[in-house]
Structure 1
Amino acid sequence: MTVLGTRLDPRAEEYRGRRAAMLADLDALAAEHAKALAGGGEKYVTRHRSRGKLLARERIELLLDPDAPFLELSPLAAWGTEYPVGAALVTGIGVVEGTECLITASDPTVRGGASNAWTLKKALRANEIALANRLPVINLVESGGADLQAQKEVFIPGGALFRDLTRLSAAGIPTIAVVFGNSTAGGAYIPGMSDHVVMVSDRAKVFLAGPPLVKVATGEDADDESLGGAAMHARTSGLADYFALDEPDALRTARRIVRRLNWTKLGPAPATPDAAAPRFEEDELLGLVPGDLKTPFDPREVLARVVDDSDFDEFKAEYGPSLATGWARVHGYPVGVLANARGVLFSAESQKAAQFIQLANQRDVPLVFLHNTTGYMVGRDYEQGGIIKHGAMMINAVSNSKVPHISILMGASYGAGHYGMCGRAFEPRFLFSWPSARAAVMGPKQLAGVLTLVSRQSAAAAGRPFDEEGAEAIRAMVEQQVEAESVPAFLSGRLYDDGVIDPRDTRTVLGLCLSAVHGAEVRGSRGYGVYRM
């Protein structure tokens, strides 16, 4: 039998404590998400509505098919920076006329939708996802272009937005721009470089330079409408392909464009469309992760509540037990799973992972990585046993694997273990975190301890006394800093993941991601770099 059982006791005091801690983390996370939902605040939302305009998420809701899910991406972008949470842009994946699309929507209630460095990073990540997964792109535009106060961080790298639009089109991936208001200066090139353009009458304004700048530059007097209005672009310049009467009409037109794409996926459909749900309650995922991440937990308890019918066919179960590997299905899609079971990765786990990744590529099966690792094992015996070359073997396999990868950070994701388990630098198609996750070069206490030891040795080598009191103060400060910089909100704010999710939503999020990655061909690597044996 490959159906998983469970040893979890929801009535146990330990479980209840873990659940309470997770719920507290989720409440704190909800408060941060609320900041993104609030946009520029009540004053600017009210002013926007008074002009008869829809908010960014309302536009998305009208664009999507009725009751279709929307997987929002990077909602905490810019968290912990001087800029508003959400970075004045909403991005995500949703279904329009039966077609999964990558959707972006400017939030004009935040500084007129102007782009700062984090807006740019968020938009570029969205384009990256669209290109990798072959998703048509719909940009809902109302932005004054670059935030001039942040131009030094936006102007040079901002050209990548225009580059991406042309590359998407060249790859045969449709791009659609729906312009609701200003799309000026560099922003004018978003409709200019899109395959299909819809503009809203009396609202859309698309020009390289507005009337004041034209007056200064050329001495010419021009009004908004004759310079860049929707009617002019529909009837004179030809930039607008569709002239919409109002916002709902523009969104209906965008839906019509998508319907006429006759878009089909290149990847296979789910093997079992009516997949059996897991045999255990997803709600129980709340009480799995210990408060102390050095304490391991069994990832099979997660899989029992995520994969179809709780069916997990484990590979090499008796070898390298700190890493669980095996085959399963999620919403009918076959997957290979690599899940940290005891935190530390040894040589056996590394070699097992490399073989398993090769098998998944041979079979063209996507891989799911469930992180809870403190990294590769250290020490004289392990170094002599070849931990470096075996860890490198695993990283080589991950690096050169061509099947889609999806990573979920559940607990610790430290050191090179983060790399071996397909961290952000290894370009997983999607990477999400649980509120319990932590990612850093090592744990806060370990990092502070290393720095203290180095300082002590340096003092001894110099023949000077070691300041114990000062070292303790520095140690506490470093621990606090590393802890603050390894929490999910901090990492998500810098777009090191695609969002922090409720553990109970893990199966749903994986299903949406797997559906998206099958928009492109799913084909594994047939060759690897040199393995140091």
Structure 2
Amino acid sequence: MIEDWSDEVTQIQRRREHAAGLGGPDKIARQHASGRMTVRERIAALADEGSFAEIGALAGFANADGTVTPANFVAGTARVDGRKVVLGADDFTGRGGSGDAAIHAKQVYSEQLAGQFRLPLIRLLDGASGGGSVKMIERAGYSYVPVNPGWDHVVDNLSTVPVVSACLGPVVGIGAARAVMSHLCVFVAGLAQLFVAGPPVVRGGIGEDVDKEQLGGAEVHRRNGNVDRFVATEAEAFAVIRRFLSYLPSSVHELPPVTTCDDPTSRAEQTLLSAIPRNPRRPYRIAPILDAVFDTGSVFRYADYGGATVTALARLDGHPVGVVATDPYRGNTLSAAGALALTRLVDLCETFHLPIVSLTDQGGMTIGTAAERAGTLRVGARAISAVYQARVPQAELILRRVYGVGGAGIVNRHRGGRSWAWPSGDWGSLPAKGGIEAAYRAELAQSQDPEADLEAIQTRLAALTSPFRTAEHFGVQDIIDPRQSRALLCEWVHDAYRLLPAVVGSPSWGTRP
């Protein structure tokens, strides 16, 4: 009789089947009843069919009856739109993702694997992500000084590979910290909550009586910068993840992926000629302008919280770029939230070598008491510093306003970047109305007819502030027909990509969340 290892192979298969059962039928039913997929259903929905290769499926806790309770974290590699990635996903059916059912080595290994093999990392978060529990103290028989498992890899990955986190249920403690330690944090409104500590701890610690939604639901995080994109369903979250990764290289050691483009670079949209109203007080829609300039269907909105500051990824002749613009229907100045969104986009582009295009309509930093209380000056200066520190090529279309410190710093004009202005361009140290009234206050105060004198001053200065006068002194590189914008930027992006090999590799400073 030939001896072999059939019994052990059978046991391997049996253990894998048990692990696929997660926390058991009752816990799976509760997960479904809450409107959420199980961890394995999520992986199947996100990854290319049949591509998931699990790592550590046999890890778990031995029971007295000889069975094994699987660890509440599922890890492995998969392909997403053909590209290999590392997946690390919480299983809420295993004690709500808490540390009692965790084997932290699996989670740490997923982070380490992504960094060392230079693969994008996707975290599907639901629960405590293996965070601590007071029951662990009783089990161990002693307390301990907290350590965030594998946090060195978590930090290093931000400067190495694209990291995406999806909040798909209540995300708390170390799970919440991992959510914001990413280049893109996606949040399913209505299903997810995000908080440092849950309602029972908050109630016992500070006496605040709130439920999960009041403590960390979508409305809590809409504008605070913790979450980049809000979606309505898990399927939509997975679609956002796929699309976001399509713009980025697998690691900082590669160039962004260039795709075949069927959209003619010579496309000149007639609508651009009238996109900016002649009345400077009238707003305009930014989305049609973005669609007219960048490759059809390529504009991907980045931060949902930026207010008037629009950040996006897009393509020019198939080449990924970062985009900064303004939504005049929400204002035209750089707020604290807008500065945070700008910093995040620029740091993303610098880390993964995407050139930056600014469609500039920047009325300076937001003013007033609310803006001062929000610390707009410091976060605005930080955003401008990010722009100036970025080594990637930058280009600019000046659509309308360029005012003050905010306008001056929206791109680095001290570099040899390419810049074009539309005839609607309007610039200066201050907006004309406020600037005139400030500069000529004494003269107007002594005037017999201040309204007539103010109108005369405005008429006199209007001739001097014509964009053509600025162009005559080479204060702006070129004033163009807006319909030429796409063709000029598409030609520029090829030059920009020739320069990118010089910045491939780790960013000049460590990327921070």
Which band: TM-score by shorter chain?
Answer: 0.3 to 0.5
Kindly name which structure, 1 or 2, has the bigger radius of gyration based on alpha carbons: 2
By relative contact order (CA 8 Å, sep 6+), the higher-ranking structure is 1
**TM (normalized to structure 1)?**
0.44
TM-score by length of 2: 0.45
More helix by share: 1
